[in-house]
Amino acid sequence: MIEASTQAIEAFDTLVRTRRSVRGFLDKPVPDSVMQQIFETARWSPSGTNVQPWDVCVASGEVTKALRAGFISRAKNKEKIVTDHAPDGRLDDLWRERKRACARALYNAMGIEWEDKAGRASAAFRNSEFFDAPHVVFLGMHEDFGTQTAADVGMFAQTLMLAMTAHGVASCAQGSLRNYPDFVRSTFGLDDKIKILFGISFGYEDDKVPANTARTERAPLEEIVKFLG
């Protein structure tokens, strides 16, 4: 059993709170040795009955450039988006408001007015550019798995992003990277049965990018957790 210590608690809390979505990266690759350590840690994520359902495809160098070019051209040409999984349904007011607050934080950081449709579109377009990140990882799973198993892939993703944070590597999870799954499959030579859930752009933060000053809040504990007994 792990021995609880103030040091470990503080270190973990700091790690969790330090991770945030970074949307502007330096043109500086993550060294191979750091990359290996990060993914080695993420490998220890839990999953139901330990099936380890995740398919993890990491792009660097020329592969990232080719993927970026492909996402950009598809977005510019307004290519029909056909995701592997059905999108969420209509969000209720509570969640819509949280979603708006998240968007407002980003637009404020970028100096974009809510009414500025073109500005908002160019902010969204940054997703296709992977926010200039030198790396992108796609997370998928076999089509035989359903939503219960998608939760396992989420566990992997959070472990991965925390491991990145510990190594000083910034990241941004992107649901938008599920938009062109056939292109991702053909790039990595994936079987058609491997379905893409989302991607994560990562690398070293460019702290001169205004978008990176955006900060999000969280709902208070009493709003989200019921403690009984």
Ligand X SMILES: Cc1cc2nc3c(=O)[nH]c(=O)nc-3n(C[C@H](O)[C@H](O)[C@H](O)COP(=O)(O)O)c2cc1C
Binding site residues, ligand X, CB under 6 A: 20-21, 23, 102, 127, 172-176, 198, 216
Smallest gap, in angstroms, from Cβ of residue 175 to ligand X?
4
Which residue lies nearer to ligand X by CB, 64 or 127? 127
Name which of 149 and 176 has its Cβ closer to ligand X. 176
Q: Report the residue number, 17 or 36, with the smaller CB distance to ligand X.
A: 17
C-beta of residue 136 within 8 angstroms of C-beta of residue 59: yes
Least separation in angstroms between CB 141 and ligand X:
14
Q: What is the Cα–Cα distance from 202 to 30, expressed in whole angstroms?
A: 9
Q: How far is the CB of 67 from ligand X (least distance, A)?
A: 15
Tokens representing 104 are: 């407002």
Least distance from ligand X to the Cβ atom of residue 176, Å: 4
Nearer to ligand X, 89 or 189 (CB): 89
Q: Any residues with CB less than 8 A from the CB of 181 and at least 6 apart, and which?
A: 82, 83, 84, 140, 195, 196
C-alpha–C-alpha distance, residues 201 and 133, integer Å: 6
Q: How far is the CB of 64 from ligand X (least distance, A)?
A: 17
Closest approach of Cβ 32 to ligand X, in Å?
Answer: 26
Of 131, 153, 127, nearest to 203 (Cα)? 131
- Residue 61 or 95: the one with the smaller Cβ distance to ligand X is 95
In order of 8, 75, 102, 180, 196, the CA distances from 57 in angstroms are: 31, 21, 28, 15, 10
Question: Measured from the CB atom, is 21 or 45 closer to ligand X?
Answer: 21
Is residue 42 packed enough to be buried (19+ CB in 10 Å), middle (13-18) or exposed (0-12)? buried
Q: Is 218 left (phi over 0), alpha (psi -120 to 50) or beta?
A: beta
Host H or E run for residue 55: strand 55-59
